[in-house]
Amino acid sequence: MPIFTPGRRWQPAYRPFKKESLGSALMEDFEYIIKGPLFGCRMCGNCLLQETAFICPMECPKGLRNGPCGGSTPEYCYVDKTRPCIWYKIYERSFKMGREEKLLEVLPPLDWEKVGTETWKDILTTVKKNGTGKVVKSIVLDQGEKRYKTWDMIFRAVRQPDWWQGDDKYHAPAYTEPVSELERRLKAGEFVVACEIAPPLSMATKKLIENIELVKPFVTAINFTDNASATPRMTSWACSRIAVEKGAEPVMQIAARDRTRASLQAEILGATALGVRNVLCVTGDSPVLAPQPRGRMDINDMDAIQMIWILRRMRDEGHYLDGRELKFPPKFFLGAAASPFASDPKFQAIREHKKVNAGAQFFQTNLVYDPERMEIWLNELAKRNIFDKVYIMIGITPLKSAKMTHYMTEVPGVFVPKSIIDRMDAADAKGGAQEEGVKIALEIIEKIRGKQGINGLHIMPVGWEDIIPRIVTEAGLAKNLTPA
Ligand code: SF4
């Protein structure tokens, strides 16, 4: 077990893709012999230890390099319950060491050319480039900020290659006129309603179109999920295109799990050419939730924050990740998922802050059944001064039965208070579960409206699309709506 990473389990190191000289191979083994036992290093070749409280994040089964997923818990990783969530450990230690603000720097995806190779050589090269004597003198003799700057200059060169140049700053969108109706209404200060329609399980689009027509007059935008639970359905961009044809405004969800950096950029260009103007980036459920046989469960090419960073720069700076210029950059309103009840609210707030810095303009949250407890998360966001930089839409799913209520308690990142479980159990026993579920949803909406930082609702009906018109109408939210 690594000395500085309590609770971690041992995992094999990455090996270089290409054949190495004997000298390099020996140097790599030497680095691994030292850093493996100390930090749980897996030789990713793109060392981030300075930013992650000296715990290697590469144990995370999703390969996340920018913080925990929505399934993170203090007890275990939801992908593999035999190990702790390594990102929970990183956040916990960062707070203990007072290094939590370091977690805001947007870190790059792996450069697979460097995976398995040594980092120390890169560090020595940077030191030499900046004058070995000068660097050593500064580290030994300087104090405080000056010493830190020298130290950071060395390690930043390793973790932030030229093609990425991530930072911990907020990057405002480089445009002013709204690019979508969703953005226009949020900017205008309306309390906006969006909803989700699950893409069809076959090529038949009749039900999808009926659902689009049903909800269109009651919502501003319709989300189409991207293989939720890692289970294939009709693709999100195809559903989004159908929505555009039917005069509705889609939010195209896009999951890092099923993308490479090349396919992400290609798909966004295609989707925006087809009329999609809202994009929501998620890391995506692990294939561990999918039916057998499962795809890879041990690495993603990118995480949601890296997707946001890449897409914002495509749009605002007009270039691909590889630096090629984009003559006609795509236009879109960029969103992300937020999770008020995953792990610790102050940990989550850092993760949401980082998404905003990377380029997220709106959040749609995981399900909220406890508006009072959600306040803790909102307070953490308020401390980070991000309410004026991002619009927050709260996730609501009306409960249909006691069975569904109990199932929800198992969903990563969802918290259902006992009072709601008891109410649904009692109502189900009397045959009135659906009515009770609607009542609870309306009560939650009433409580969250008007709270500081909340700009709208995101209704996720889980196949109960028929209930959307009633919820929106009875919540008094239909009055300003004209079909989007
Ligand atoms: S997959 Fe999620 S829960 Fe598991 S270690 Fe990674 S961030 Fe934590």
Residue among 5, 77, 92 to mutate when testing ligand 1 (max atoms within 8 A of CB)? 77
- The residue among 211, 374, 285, 388 whose CA lies nearest residue 61 is 285
Residues with CB under 6 A from ligand 1: 60-62, 64, 68-69, 71-72, 77-79, 85-87
Residue 326 dihedral angles phi and psi, to the nearest 5°: -105, 115
Residue among 56, 59, 64, 344 to mutate when testing ligand 1 (max atoms within 8 A of CB)? 64
pLDDT value of position 479: 61
Q: From CA 309, how far away is CA 57, in angstroms rounded?
A: 19
Q: 286 C-alpha vs ligand 1 centroid, how far in Å?
A: 9
Q: 79 C-alpha vs ligand 1 centroid, how far in Å?
A: 7
Residue 283 identity: T
What mean pLDDT, rounded, does the chain reach?
Answer: 93
Contact 424, 433 (CB under 8 A): yes
The pTM of the whole model exceeds 0.85:
yes
Span 211-227, pLDDT tens digits: 999 999 999 999 999 99
pLDDT value of position 384: 96
Dihedral of alpha carbons 199, 200, 202, 206, sign: negative
Residue among 9, 55, 58, 62 to mutate when testing ligand 1 (max atoms within 8 A of CB)? 62
- The residue among 332, 341, 338 whose CA lies nearest residue 354 is 338
pLDDT value of position 484: 47
Span 46-80, pLDDT tens digits: 999 989 999 999 989 899 999 999 888 888 898 98
Residues in the chain, pLDDT under 70: 1-9, 479-484
Residue 234 dihedral angles phi and psi, to the nearest 5°: -60, 140
Q: From CA 208, how far away is CA 213, in angstroms rounded?
A: 9
- The residue among 255, 360, 348 whose CA lies nearest residue 309 is 360
Q: Give the residue, by CA position, lying nearest to ligand 1 atom 2.
A: 69
pLDDT value of position 480: 59
- The residue among 243, 354, 229 whose CA lies nearest residue 294 is 229
- Residue reference for tokens 């001064």: 385
Residue 120: C-alpha distances to residues 12, 117, 359 (Å): 19, 9, 32
pLDDT value of position 481: 62
What is the position in ligand 1's atom list of the atom closest to the CA of 412?
Answer: 3
DSSP secondary structure of 264-310? HHHHHHHHHHTT--EEEEE----GGGSPSSP---S--S--HHHHHHH
Residue 38: C-alpha distances to residues 2, 6, 41, 214 (Å): 5, 10, 8, 58
Q: Give the residue, by CA position, lying nearest to ligand 1 atom 6.
A: 60
- The residue among 426, 424, 429, 428 whose CA lies nearest residue 443 is 424
pLDDT value of position 2: 55
CB atoms within 10 A of CB 435: 11
What is the position in ligand 1's atom list of the atom closest to the CA of 70?
Answer: 2
